[in-house]
Amino acid sequence: MKEPNDDKLRGLLRRAIPPVEDTQLKSDLWPEMLRRLDGRTTRVPWFDWALVGLLAVLFFLFPEVIPVLLYHL
């Protein structure tokens, strides 16, 4: 059973959201996507390198920490 306000709500939504006229793509998007992916570089912040260095020193000085860390991962 329909609610009495459904038709009114449907009409309000149709007036609020106009129909899309042109749905065809102007060009192929895949070559542009490949260009964007090729142009992207991965940047690693300095504090990530500092953490890696700190872990390397920690593993070198205290090798018994390695199984403990692997257990918690």
Instruction: Give 45-64 pLDDT, tens digit per residue.
Output: 999 999 999 989 999 999 99
pLDDT band at residue 11, thresholds of 50, 70 and 90? confident
pLDDT band at residue 24, thresholds of 50, 70 and 90? confident
Residue 36 confidence (pLDDT) above 60: yes
Buried (b) or exposed (e) across 34-66, using 16+ Cβ within 10 A? eeeeeeeeeeeeeeeeeeeeeeeeeeeeeeeee
Mean pLDDT of 30-48: 88
